Structure formats: C-alpha cells, structure tokens
A and B are shown apart, each in its own frame.
Chain A
Amino acid sequence: MFKLNLKIAWRNLWKNKGYTFINILGLSIGMASCILIFIFIRYQLSFDENFKNEDRIYRVITGWTTPDNFFESAGTPRPLPPAMRNDFKQQFDKVAAIQAGGGIIKVKDESGKERIKTSESVHYAEPDFFEILSFKWLEGNPRQSLSQPNTVVLSDEMADKLFGNWHKAVGKSINFQNKVDLKVTGIIEKTPDNSSFPLKVIISYKTYQNQGRPESTNWGTVSSTSECYVLLKEGASIDDASKSLPQFITKYYKRDNVSKESHRFQQLRDIHYNADLGNFANKVMPKKELYGLAIIGAFLLLTACINFINLATAQAVSRGKEVGVRKVMGSLRRQLIVQFLTETLTITVISLLVGCVLTEVALPGMQSLFKDHISFSIIEHPIIFVFMVVLVLLVSFLAGFYPAMVMSGYSPALAIKNKITANAAGLSLRKILVVVQFAITVILIIGTLVVLRQMSYMREKPLGFIPTAVALVDVPSDSMAITRYHTLQDQINKIPGVLSTSYCSAAPSSDFNNESNFRYNGTVKSTFQANTKTGDENYFKTFGLEIIAGKGLSKSDTLKDIVVNETMLKKLNVVNYNDAIGKSIRINDKTGNIIGVVKDFNNMSLHEPISPIVINSDKESYTTIAVKLDSKSILPAMRAIEKTWNTVLPEYVYGSTFMDDKISEYYQTEKIMGALFKVFAGVIIFISFIGLFGLISFVATQRTREVAIRKVLGASTLELVKMLNGSFLLMVFLANLVAWPLAYLFVAKWLATFTYRIDLNIWPFVFAMIISMVITLITVSIRSYKAAVANTIDALKYE
C-alpha cells in the first residue's frame, strides 16, 4: 500500500508540476536555512564539552560594586588561588591559577643560529589546572612537566611548527622574550576550534612567579588575564562554597576602598556564552543570539509550511473526486490521511535533498561570516542526521496534516458530484495563514531596515576623533626597548606619507581600558573611577582630538600634566571648564595638574556611554606607536614603517593594525546580525511571494469562468485585475497592521542595547509596507492580468 501511495504521490506531483516546483523551492530554501542555523547552533553548543567532571568545574569571577556601577571580570587577584586552595579545602578538590600572556619565542638550531622568531600567546599554568581540565597529554604529565620553573609544554601543532616534528620536541629548549630559556617537558594535543582554551604554549606557573612581580601579593589589582579555576569535590555543592565567600572576602580584602569586591563561581559550560566576561579564546556567543537565530529558523520554516498548506488546500478541490471515489471503494479516512501525508512526505524528502545541496553551497559564506569552521558532516555529527529526520517529519506533519484532514473529510456524495468549491476548503483559514506569513515577512523587513540604518549610523557618527588612516604599531615596553623609542619615532617620522606619530597606551577608543580611583583638587576620594590613557605630546594631533579649554600635553616622560575630558568635569560638577585648569589630580599614587580639557570622544563601542577620562604621559606604559598617514600613501608607508621597525627593534616581532579595523571589530556581532537579517529577510520574502504567486494562480484558475462571464457582461481588463488583486492587497495590508507593533517591540529592544542609536521613526514601517504592497501587487498582477485577458470562449466552452 505504501509503495502504491508513493507511486500515486509521484504521479500527482508530476501532474501539478508548477505547484510542486513552488512547494519544493520554498520548502528546500526554508529547510536549507534551518539546517544552516542548526549546524551553527550545534557548533556553538559544542564548546568546551567532553571535559571530565565538567559539571564540577568552575571559574572564579571577581565583581566590584561602586556607588553608581557594578562590573565583573573573569580575572582574580593573583594571591587569590593559593588563598582559596587553603580556605576551601572542604569544598574544592583542586584550585589552579592560569595566566595569559604573550611574547616572542625563539628557537635556535644546533649551531646556535636563530632559526625561528615568532610572537605567540602563552599561558602560565599551575599543574593542578590540568587536573581540573582534562586535556590529552601526548608526552609528559602535568605533575612532572609543569612543577618546575622554566619548563614549557607545547601543543603538538605548536611543537610541529617550532621543531618540525613534535616527537622530537621534548628535551629541547626555546627562548622566551629574549630573557629565559624554557625546557620543553611535555606535549598536549592541540585544543579543538570549539574550545575556550586555545592553549599552545603553556609555561609553568613558577616561571611566572619567578619574574618577581609585585602584584603577585596585591589583592587590589585584578587583570582579566589572571584566571582561577576550581574543581568542586564530588558530592559538594557550589552553593555551600558560595556561602563561605563573604567570610573569605572579609579575611583578605581591605575594606577602605570605594568599590566593594565580591566573588562568584561561573560554570565551565557558561564560559563560551558570557559576553561580559569573555575568555582566552575570545570566542563568545551569547545564548540570546542563538535563541534569536533559532526563532528566525522557526519563522522561515513556518513560512514555508504555510506556503505548502495554502497550495495544498487550494489544490484540494481537484482531489475531491478522488477522495469520494476512494471512500466508496472502502477507504477509511485514516487511510486517506496516510495517503496524503505520504505525498507531503515525498515532497519534504525531495526538498530536504535539494536543501542539503543549498546548505552545502551556502556553507562557505556562512563560515566566512562567522569566521569559524562549521562542519556539515552527518558522519562526524550524527545529530545533524537526527535533526534532518526530525525536520522532515515535523515539516511533513505541520504542512501535511491540515490539508490531509480537510481533504479526507470531504463528503463522498458532494465530492463525486464536484460540488466542493474552494470556499468550502477553508478559504478563511488560508487568509489567516497568508496574513501570518506576511506579518512575519514584514517584521523581518522592518528589522532589516532598522539594523541597516543603525549600522550606517554607527559608521557615520563622529566619534570625536579621526580614526581613518591611523596605523597602530605595537611597541615592546621593556626597558631595553624604551631606550630606542626616540630613534624609532624619529625614523618613522621621516618616512614619506607619515603625518605624525604618537606613543600611547591605547587609542582613544579601545578594548584596553584602565579604571582608577583619584582625588580631584586635594579632596576626598572620588565616587567614580576615571578611565586613564597615556600618550605623548602628539597624541591629540595624531588622533585628531580637539582641545576645548587650556592646552594639550607637553613633552614629558612621566605624569606631570593632565588633560581630562568633558564628561569628567561634568561628573565633578565643574561648569566652567576653565575653572578646572590648574587643579590637581592624584591618581595611581602620582599627582599632576590639569592643563587642558579635551572634547568628548567615544572611548568604547557605541553600546557604551563615554567614560570620564584622564590623559597623561607615562613613557613606561606605552604599548603602541600610533602613526597618522596620508591616506594616499598608506601602503608604501606601512612597508617602510615595518622595515624601519625591524631595523630598530630586531629582537622583537612587528605587529600592526588600523584604527578603522579596530573600531569595526567592535561591531562584529552587529555586522553578522545585519548580514543574517539581510539574507533571511530576502529568503523569507522570496518564499512568501512564490507562495503568493501559487495562490493567485490557483484563484485565477478557480475564477476563470467568473472572469469570462464578467467579461461578457462588459468588465474591462483593469477592473478584472483589480477584482482578483483586491483581497490579496487587503491581506497584505492587514499583515502590516499585525506586524507593526510586534516589529516595534523587537527593534526597540534591540536598539536599547546601544547608548548611541538612531531615533526609531515611522519610516522603516512605512517603507516595509510599501515594499510588501508593491511586490504583492506585481506578483499578483502578472498572474491576474493573464487570467483577465484569457480567451473568453475557451473558459465558457469548457463547462
């Protein structure tokens, strides 16, 4: 019976090639989008899985509460891990510190000649770290390999790179930062792409402690690069451990600070999804966005299913006779439902196959958009196959069940007499579905318009400084390099195309932000923290910052003069900026005088408001030399800069970025959102409108006779087209009315995440309505015009 059903299904589909094509096209595009979204979500959810005891692993988070703010960091004070190991013996099996850093690695060959010089990110880890997180060790083990100072463990990939073959690496040594020689004592397997721990070079933590850093006993300094992981004892509860934290905090922290410290434990599986805290891999994907994608996927599928339902119920009339005949031959309703579902299943399976091809085609685009390797291999990930099976069944059911119910429910007496009309086959439901479908479409159109406008707003908004044609070239900040700063700057300034240069700790807008308490004009400690930036006397010129009172910094190697921004003075309630000139500021245990006020500039992404900022000179804190270039000669100038840099600082590794790129990196998520919205809105518009075309084709066929009679009675072509179009335009209009408030809620919520955003006005809504109405009009008119000019006699003779 199933075989026969399949055969009949196939013949039926072949007979109605047009509708079948529309159905398969819509469904396969919808399914391809769903598969893409699924494999992306699957990839994102696969982060940091397969660690032993993963539900007992936590990262220690530090939080600060200030009078007007609360913020958190994934870092912990450096004395925290040993203290926690000591005080939480009851609750934790292991506590381990890991410190991220970077530096220059050099490998010499047998003759002592430098063979490889490369700048790499490194991690200093305690042996216990590897007992908490189970990495695969190819050679050595954490106890032995990382318990001594000046030892290093490499990933097999890194060892291959440094020594040609990781089997030969153990026992050899590498030079780090021109300072220490590290002995390779172990090899771990390369961490996969979907890991928040991209460990390549792991140096024993003792090596780090041996560098004699003062902050290693300081509870007041926290860097987000110093993380601490704990392994909960089996059977112990993390809530109990959290309860002991206040006591722990009182024991170790001094209580005279403006901000209050706190700690909490973050689950291992949360690390990839928490955008506020970040991780070593710098790959985060907030769950919210995954949900958003899943919703878009569901929308797409729903739209495709609605197409199917509409076309199937519209066609149902022509199947009425068959239903009647089958019923009097003794077919049960159930058997008919099975038959119709078989047909839907056939279409769905074909669509899936086409959809898989489309997925394969679209995958490279998706990968470059997300800059991640996303696999579409059902052998590697059988779950994808399971998903596809579920998808087919779900779509068959969603799309096929209602039409099957309608068709199988026909009364045989009426069906045989051809007395079933389109109206009886649930036209009102079809109207509702069309409205739903177009409401979804309109919401996406509005969403796309708003996202794109916000994006261009962000691109064009004046930031208060000029980010174009500014290269940020890394400079090493050890004492040896500092002595050559002057030479470097001089030589770079001589390169044609270089307009000005400035040493600084960070560009005006940067991810790298330091916040400090300060005293203004000798008063008590401020209630808020100031963002500190350091730069030399050319900082303002190089970045195009505008001084609005006083003057800019003068040449100095240490803190003496201070420039503050407008926000700083507003927060200090200084109305006349000139009043502030000459006042003292004590910050980081040093005192300087305010000599100028700089016009406000955006120092972070436009999601964030402008911080109060203190700018001063401090030669020892510079990490970057910013080079303002003539935009016409960027390329040759950059080549010359690199050459100069390498001759002045031959022991180090050159690295540079452009200010514009840095800024556009802030909006990576928004860029992805924008691209996704564009693509999916396009897809959904396409699906909706081919569905609409199918529907109008059907209605036109249904009303052929009516059209012919009206023509005989003297109706003009235009009047007939208007008659056929009318209900569709009304439906799309209704869909707009439904979509507007929903879309408003969505976009308003999204825009609220930006401190600097466009004003939401009526235009995107009106524009979405115009787009949807115009496309509807065109789609529908093409078909209804054809119906209206058809030969009258043919239609009437046919009966």
Chain B
Amino acid sequence: MIQLNNIEKYYANKGIKNYVLRLVTTTIKQGEFVSIMGPSGAGKSTLLNIIGMLEEPTYGSYEFLGEDVTSLNERKRIELYRNHIGFVFQAYHLIDEMTVYENIEAPLLYKKVGSSERASRIADLLDRFNIVAKKDLFPNQLSGGQQQLVGIARALAAQPSIILADEPTGNLQSAQAEEIMTLFKKLNQEDGITIIQVTHSEKNAQYGNRILHIADGVVKEDVAVG
C-alpha cells in the first residue's frame, strides 16, 4: 500500500543541512497496524506527515496505492484525503464552532455524499462510539477522551482505507487511552483498516503488529509485534 524509497528530509539553515529524515525505506502493506516510535525530535511526526502528504520529502520517492505521490497537485491530493486517508490528532482538532454531528458530517460534505446516506453513516458512527447523546454538543463541552472519539469518528466517516494518527492518546488519561487503543485495534482487525500511529508509549505500541523505531531520522529497528 505504501512504499517509501530513500526518503530524505532536511532544512537548510545558513548553508548547513539539518537532517530530519535520512534514507528511510520501508513498505507498509494493507491491513497493517504500524507504530512509529522514537525519542523527541527523532523525525516521527515528519515521517507521518510525509506519509500523509502534508509535507513533501526533499529526496526519495513515495508510492501510495501504486501511484507516485512524491509531488502531487492539490486536487489529486485532496481526492486521496477524501477517499483514502483519515487523520487523527493528538489535540483532537475538532472544529470548535461545529457540533459533534457537524464535525463528523464535514468530510462527508466535502466528499459530496448524499444527505440520506450522510445521515445514516453518521447515525451509525454515533451509535458505534456511544456518543448519540452528545451529537448536539460543541467540542468544548466534551472530555478529552470523548473529543478524541469524535475525532476518530470523523476520520472514519469518509470510510478511509488508512488512518494516520499522531500521538492519538498523548493528551489523554490512561483509562481513556486504553479505550482508544482498543478501538484502533478493533478497527484494524475487524474492518481491515490500515493504521499508522506515532506514539511514545511502548504499551500503546503493543496494540499494533509492527513497530518502526526511529532515532535521529534513521529507522533503527523494524520489529513485528505479537
């Protein structure tokens, strides 16, 4: 599904190249649950951003679903966002001015899903995540865990084939974090959704089936779990 070849990323500062990623080559297959781990500043988030096409690599090539996406125009990239990729953020990033319902609905509107189809999908998601009662509340009226549930529901609304999660439990208490990770595992195993997460926690990484250890921009270890 994802094929990275010799990905490099650096920032030039006064002629000195500050490398963030060096020669990263890896393949992620459909249905995998990959955790990217490493110390702060190792380049985890940058790697995830490159996979999510939020940043472009300086060198190297990147194929997504067999297509070279190293430098994609906006329209094509947005096509991928609408149909294949769902994002989950550490700080949830719900839109404060929209209710839970509207937040989940937003990607469907961009995807131009018909209104009855939209309603049934959202109802399904609300039901599945047990947040039906909260659908008319605004994000600031929810706890962190609930917000993240909405964030995941939103990511799933467009029925993506892959979810990219940047420290999805970083702001959560452990009980809530466990709930979220269990949900991810379930999505991966039952729905076959590919998940790539960045995490600091060894425990969370255990929910997945593969761990990429990164340090100083280099993939140090690539281990299978379980």
Q: Tell me the A residues contacting B by CB distance below 8 Å.
A: 1, 4, 7-8, 11-12, 15, 321-322, 324-333, 335, 411-413, 416
Please give me the residue from chain B that is nearest to A329 by CB atom.
B107
- CB pair B89–A416 under 8 Å, yes or no, is yes
- In the assembled complex, the CB of B208 is this many whole angstroms from the nearest CB of chain A, namely 22
Q: Per-residue CB proximity of B146-164 to A under 8 Å, as 1/0?
A: 0000000010001000000
- CB pair B97–A330 under 8 Å, yes or no, is no
- In the assembled complex, the CB of B146 is this many whole angstroms from the nearest CB of chain A, namely 17
Given the interface contacts A1-B109, A4-B102, A413-B54, does A332 sit within 8 Å of B97 by beta carbon? no
Q: Per-residue CB proximity of B93-117 to A under 8 Å, as 1/0?
A: 1111110001000110111000000
Which chain B residues border A329 with CB–CB below 8 Å?
81-82, 87, 106-107, 110, 154, 158
- CB pair A332–B102 under 8 Å, yes or no, is no
- Interface size of B by Cβ–Cβ distance < 8 Å? 27
Q: Per-residue CB proximity of B50-90 to A under 8 Å, as 1/0?
A: 00101100000000000000000011001101100101010
- In the assembled complex, the CB of A20 is this many whole angstroms from the nearest CB of chain B, namely 13
Q: For the complex, what is the distance from the CA of A333 to the CA of B78, rounded to whole Å?
A: 10
Q: Which of B49, B82, B93, B102 contacts A330 (CB 8 A)?
A: B82
Please give me the residue from chain A that is nearest to B79 by CB atom.
A330
Q: For the complex, what is the distance from the CA of A495 to the CA of B109, rounded to whole Å?
A: 90
- CB pair B54–A412 under 8 Å, yes or no, is yes
- CB pair B110–A330 under 8 Å, yes or no, is yes
- In the assembled complex, the CB of A9 is this many whole angstroms from the nearest CB of chain B, namely 9
Which chain A residues border B85 with CB–CB below 8 Å?
328
The 7 nearest A-B residue pairs measured at CB: A330-B82, A413-B54, A11-B97, A330-B81, A330-B110, A329-B107, A328-B87
- CB pair A328–B81 under 8 Å, yes or no, is yes
Which chain B residues border A325 with CB–CB below 8 Å?
87, 89, 93-95
Main secondary structure of the interface of A (DSSP, over half): helix
- CB pair A321–B93 under 8 Å, yes or no, is yes
Please give me the residue from chain A that is nearest to B46 by CB atom.
A413
Taking A330-B82, A412-B54, A416-B93 as given, write out 20 further A-B residue pairs in contact, using a Cβ cutoff of 8 Å, ordered by the A residue number.
A1-B109, A8-B98, A15-B96, A15-B97, A322-B95, A324-B93, A325-B89, A325-B95, A326-B110, A328-B54, A329-B87, A329-B110, A329-B158, A330-B79, A332-B74, A332-B75, A335-B110, A411-B54, A413-B49, A416-B89
Please give me the residue from chain B that is nearest to A412 by CB atom.
B54
Q: Tell me the B residues contacting A by CB distance below 8 Å.
A: 49, 52, 54-55, 74-75, 78-79, 81-82, 85, 87, 89, 93-98, 102, 106-107, 109-111, 154, 158
Please give me the residue from chain A that is nearest to B97 by CB atom.
A11
- CB pair B102–A331 under 8 Å, yes or no, is no
- CB pair B95–A330 under 8 Å, yes or no, is no
- For A322, A327, A329, the residue with the greatest tally of chain B CB atoms inside 10 Å of its CB is A329
- In the assembled complex, the CB of B112 is this many whole angstroms from the nearest CB of chain A, namely 9
- In the assembled complex, the CB of A455 is this many whole angstroms from the nearest CB of chain B, namely 52
Which chain B residues border A4 with CB–CB below 8 Å?
102, 109
Which chain B residues border A324 with CB–CB below 8 Å?
93
Q: For the complex, what is the distance from the CA of A45 to the CA of B82, rounded to whole Å?
A: 55
Which chain A residues border B89 with CB–CB below 8 Å?
325, 416
Q: For the complex, what is the distance from the CA of A331 to the CA of B102, rounded to whole Å?
A: 15
- CB pair B78–A12 under 8 Å, yes or no, is no
Which chain B residues border A330 with CB–CB below 8 Å?
78-79, 81-82, 107, 110-111, 158
- CB pair A12–B97 under 8 Å, yes or no, is yes
Q: For the complex, what is the distance from the CA of A331 to the CA of B79, rounded to whole Å?
A: 9
Please give me the residue from chain A that is nearest to B94 by CB atom.
A325
Q: For the complex, what is the distance from the CA of A332 to the CA of B94, rounded to whole Å?
A: 18
Q: Which of B52, B54, B78, B93 contacts A332 (CB 8 A)?
A: B78
Which chain A residues border B52 with CB–CB below 8 Å?
328
Q: For the complex, what is the distance from the CA of A15 to the CA of B98, rounded to whole Å?
A: 12
Q: For the complex, what is the distance from the CA of A330 to the CA of B109, rounded to whole Å?
A: 9
Which chain A residues border B95 with CB–CB below 8 Å?
8, 322, 325-326
Q: For the complex, what is the distance from the CA of A335 to the CA of B106, rounded to whole Å?
A: 12
- In the assembled complex, the CB of B87 is this many whole angstroms from the nearest CB of chain A, namely 5
- CB pair A331–B110 under 8 Å, yes or no, is yes
Which chain A residues border B82 with CB–CB below 8 Å?
329-330
Which chain A residues border B79 with CB–CB below 8 Å?
330
Q: For the complex, what is the distance from the CA of A325 to the CA of B49, rounded to whole Å?
A: 13
Which chain B residues border A11 with CB–CB below 8 Å?
97-98
Which chain B residues border A327 with CB–CB below 8 Å?
78, 81
